[in-house]
Structure 1
Amino acid sequence: MEKTDGSAVAGAARTERGRLGVLRQREFRLLWLGETASGLGTGMTLVALPLVAVVVLRVDATAVGVLSAALWLPWLLIALPAGAWVDRLRKRPLMMVCNVVRAVLYASIPVAAWLDALTYAHLLVAALGSGAATVLFKTAYQAFLPEVLDGPDLVEGNAKLQGSEAGTQVVGRGVAGPVAQAFGAVLGLLLDAVTFLVSTACLAVMRVRERPAPGQENGTRTTLRRQIGAGLRFVFADAYLRTLVTYAALVNLAVMGAQAVQVVFLVRTVGVGPTTVGLLVMASAFGGVLGALLAVPVCRRLGTARGLLVTQMLTGPFALLVPLTRPGAGLLFFGAGWFAVSAGIVAGSVVVGTFRQRYCPPPLLGRITATSLFLNHGVIPVGSLLGGVLGDVLGLRPTMWIMTALLAPCWLVLAAGPVRGQRELPERSEVLPAAGKADG
């Protein structure tokens, strides 16, 4: 019987020594600390950036949607070549450069605001530039983690990274509102810039010997095109990857359509202030922490395939609570709905991320990751724009109903694919020989 991700979960459990587990390993601990720091700043930015647009520049819902889309548009523009670039380059120096670029861009916003020179165009440029750096960073990061942890520890490592990301975004989102209320929304972006520098410092002191990239042919344009094609063929030829990519794309479309207008919805329709906005988003994001904590035990008990399907089936429909949000006790609908959805998304991300890292051959991992993220994240600007336009045309509450009604049944995509009826996700792709030939 072929070894599966279920054995990886069990291996992670055996490897864990006390509560720290893989955090006892110095290199992973540094990576985790850096990602925790930048995750805190990113959580603040997710609230602070639209607050700057709404409160400081007083733009409409469509403009907020465009701004949210700008953060994700680079996934459509450069994600596919980014995968080929990442497979050619050393990952750690690339990640450090991306961090510095994001720090400079976010720091420029409060500087411009203090000089009374901040414009909406400035926000868009900063969002696009930081989004491009994030594409390269995230692609390199997914390919770098297997260099830090071996196979049996990947499940636990992914769970800890996803858990810290969710937890720091909870804190960051919660702090962003009160900081904006007391000191102005732009300060949160300056703090985000500092966290990227902390992450860079952690990466700089790591001692990881990366495996050399496979030799490349001369003729950059032709080779790059062939490399991109290899990643695309691998994903679309494989039933598991194809199903997971389709599911994630639909979820991201719906989630970002709702989240693009949720700050405006809470401020202008529900009638709450910046502090309450931050606290509500923080409370709902706690679900991501729970999802990361539950991912390993759920997969150990149910199996990776069955655990993925069950968590998505049980959490997605809670999205329908969000449009019911009202002042007072009705705010609980917002928190409960996004809490459950966040738990399901993070738990699924742990399973799918580990599956991809173990399932795909290392020489193709950057390209396969970039192809998956291109398809998954490429719909995010579409969702953000759609949410913003619908918010202005139909109203904010109807838009929330439309987007959450799309999100609730997305789990049916998984149920219709090869995940159904399986206990474990496989470890090795059956189309590997073809993918390897295409890469040659």
Structure 2
Amino acid sequence: MRITPSRPESLRPAARLPAAFQRLAWSNLFAQSAEQIGLAAAPLVAVFALGATARETGLLQTAQTLPFLLLSIPLGVLTDRGSRRALMTLAEAVRMMSMAGVLLLLVAHALSLPLLAVLGFLGAAGTVAYSVATPALVPSLVSRASLSAANGRIELARSVAYSAGPALGGLLVGWIGAGWAYGGAAALSACAVALLAGLREPPREPRVARRFAAELRDGARFVLRDALLRPMLATAIFFNIGFFTLQAIYVPYAVHRLGLGASAIGVTLGSYGVGMVCGALAAPSIARRLSFGRVLTIGPFCGLAASLAMAATLAVPSFWLAALSFFLLGAGPILWTVGSTTLRQAITPAGMMGRVSALNSTATYGARPLGALLGAVISARMGVDACVVAAVAGFAVQALIIVLSPVARLDAIPDQVAA
């Protein structure tokens, strides 16, 4: 049985966030910025320097997102077993080395699509561990009343990174070369490692060691049996399939259909982060005016509107429509991310947080290689236009799932779940 408060936690005054969390937040900003510069630079290098086709950029996106599908759940179990700070520090170091590896290959004129894909896979493996451990670490650093504020701070930093990273990556690749983009990303990642290394993680109650499969089964059972977590998982899956079906072919689509160069493509991708910043800044005002459940429906419907804006470029090729599409993809879903993360943290037992976070990461990010692979297959068989239409279908499904679920009818954040 759930006990529901009369007032959402997002509206309660939060205490000042502690120094350990501030260190995590800054690390998160540097890590997310490094990731976004690298993700923006990779398809641009593939198309402009290595002559990649839409099918090949789709396969590259698949390699760069596949670790989320393969590694999220195992890393979630490790997150619950050991030090989250140590895991995040190691993960960010792996990402830093992958960026430095691309830089060295560029300098040596030895970079190829397979090597770019392999190093992208390694960098994404670091991203997975960081992404799974962060929401599990936050509740140990801040009070329950401060969870919404802390998650909002994390997402605002991510919004800034998503805003500046792709635009900066596109400008660096277009103006002075890809080496500068990867060098800057590696330096930012090194700053994140240094901040994490100095973070003090509070001690946790020792856990009785259990078999890996048993721990994994418990986490999956908890999520799949929960009437709120289950539809959120399904919504995240279809959102990301639609998003990455589109993302997989966007750079060649923008070059050949919209007539954009590297810098202009970087600006359209950067509109995603601008939307995230605007959504994060508007979130407190929106939360005061709408019920918690209605706030959670905004993101999925903004995703659907974004896909329709991109589909409109099939008839009217336009830089502005493409930028609007990515803006909407950032503005609405940031509300979903903050709200859904807070809801999971509020109703999930502390000892299961890593596994539940990992299952969510598998849904949220693990669906991305499936979407990217779908984009590669559809573009090879039916062309890039069909990928845009397929993305609209994916976004329509996720909007329908959430609006029909009990999540949409929540007045406030549930306090707890009975044991």
Q: TM-score, normalised by structure 1?
A: 0.90
1:166: which partner in 2?
A: 159
For residues 391-402 of structure 1, the aligned pairs below 5 Å read 391-402=379-390
Tell me if the contact between 1:62 and 1:389 (Cα under 8 Å) persists in the aligned partners.
Answer: yes
Shift of 1:330: 2.3
Give the aligned partner of residue 28 of structure 2: 35
Q: Do the aligned partners of 1:319 and 1:408 also contact (CA within 8 Å) in 2?
A: no
**C-alpha displacement of 1:425:** 3.7
Q: What is the identity, as a one-letter code, of the residue corresponding to 2:175?
A: A
Return the match for 1:199 from 188, 192, 217. 192
Deviation at 1:392, TM superposition (A): 2.8
Shift of 1:326: 7.6
1:148 matches 2:141: yes
Aligned to 1:118: 111
Percentage identity across paired residues of the two chains: 25
Does structure 1 conserve the Cα–Cα contact (< 8 Å) formed by 2:87 and 2:133?
A: yes
Equivalent-residue separation in structure 2 for 1:393 and 1:8 (angstroms) = 49
1:40-439 equivalences in 2 (<5 Å): 40-217=33-210, 223-313=211-301, 316-325=304-313, 330-430=318-418, 433=419
Alpha-carbon separation, structure 2, partners of 1:424 and 1:55:
49
Structure 1 CA distance for aligned equivalents of residues 185 and 406 of structure 2 = 41
CA distance in 2, matches of 1:276, 1:182: 12
Shift of 1:190: 2.1
- Asked whether the 8 Å contact 1:322–1:334 carries over to 2, the reply is yes
Counterpart code for 1:43: Q
Deviation per CA, 1:250-308, whole angstroms, max 9, x where unpaired?
00000011011111111122111111111121124311112222233322332221221
Between the aligned partners of 2:300 and 2:316, the Cα distance in structure 1 is 29
Identify unmatched segments of 5+ residues in structure 1.
Answer: 218-222, 434-440
User: How big is each residue's C-alpha offset from its partner over 1:79-105, in whole Å with a ceiling of 9 and x where there is no partner?
Assistant: 222111111111111111111111011
User: What do the CA deviations read for 1:333-378 (whole angstroms, capped 9, x no partner)?
Assistant: 1111221222111110000011111110010010111122223322
Judged with a 3 Å threshold, the aligned counterparts in structure 2 of structure 1 residues 237 and 409 are, in CA distance, closer, same or farther, namely closer
Aligned to 2:3: 2
Shift in Å, 1:243:
0.5
Describe the shift of the 1:370–1:5 C-alpha distance in structure 2 as closer, same or farther (beyond 3 A).
Answer: farther
Q: Per-residue deviation at 1:329?
A: 8.5
- For the 8 Å contact 2:299–2:334, the answer to whether it is kept is no
Distance of aligned partners of 1:281 and 1:327 in 2 relative to their CA distance in 1, 3 Å threshold: farther
Quote the Cα distance in structure 1 between the aligned partners of 2:162 and 2:409: 35
Task: Write the distance in 2 (CA, Å) between the matches of 1:136 and 1:236.
Answer: 22
* 3-state SS of paired residue (1:211): coil
Amino acid at match of 1:301: R
State the Cα deviation string for residues 39-67 of structure 1 (Å, max 9, x = none): 22222112101111111211211111111
Paired with 2:315 and 2:382, the residues of 1 have a C-alpha distance of: 21
* Matched letter for residue 9 of structure 2: A
TM-score (norm 2): 0.94
Out of 308-317 and 100-109, give the one that drifted further: 308-317
C-alpha spacing 1:289/1:105, structure 2 compared with 1 (3 Å) = same
